[in-house]
Structure formats: C-alpha cells, structure tokens
Amino acid sequence: MDRKSPRTEIILSQSRAVLSHQYSDQYLDWNPQPGGYLEIEGQTYLVLERKHRYMLKAGRYELHQIVMHVQKSQMPAERSLLDGAWVIGDVSCFYNARSEILRCAINPSGPCARCRHYQKI
C-alpha cells in the first residue's frame, strides 16, 4: 500500500513497548517534537525523542518510518506561551528554563506559585 506520509511508531520509553503504529496523515495532525505532548487513547504522553528511518528506493533515500519515544505524563498546569511554544512554569521568573521539558534548575518539580526563589525579570 503506497502512502504519502510515513508510518509512525510510538514507543513507551520505560518498557520499550510499542503503543501505536500510525500513519501521520490519518491520525497525527501535527509533527510532535521532543518536549511536545501527544494523546493516545485518552492518555497523555511526553515526546522524549524522535527518530527518522530512511529506505533506499530507486537510488534515492526516502523517509520510511518515524519512531517516537514517549513517557506517560500529564500536561503541566503551569505553562506559558513563549515565541509560539508552550513552556513549563512562569516565564517572568529569572530562573525559568524556558523549556517544554524542564521548569527551572532551582525548583524543577514546581510549582512556581509561592516559590521563594522567584525573581522577576
């Protein structure tokens, strides 16, 4: 069966169990990158790693498969939109990592509210 988009294999990182085989044009309406969140059958997963596998066809390499390693997670309650991407925590704090994965170096588990190390930028 010829498809425009490659098959995406979603693997649970801790157990290495395959959660899903999907074709991105059917199920994924965006290309999840590391740090992004993905929902499969009502469960939220954090994308840890994304790999591309290529196949040689007629003398050219073509994208054959995408593999995403994920872990069970919950969407963080504290998040801010920064330059079009969601980051964890309060970006007005000097110590915020401005990352989709890590809140800050001082208080990585949060919450930002009532943190004694908060310093406004």
What digits encode the pLDDT tens for the residues 29-87?
567 788 777 778 878 888 889 999 999 999 999 998 889 999 887 666 677 777 777 78
Contact 25, 31 (CB under 8 A): no
Q: Is the pTM of this model over 0.85?
A: no
Report which of 69, 10, 64 is spatially closest to residue 41, judged by C-alpha positions: 10
d(CA 34, CA 63): 19
- Cα gap 35→28, rounded to integer Å: 16
Q: Is the pLDDT of residue 2 over 80?
A: no
Q: What are the pLDDT digits (tens) for 91-118?
A: 888 888 888 777 888 887 777 778 888 8
- In the predicted model, what is the mean pLDDT of residues 14-26? 65
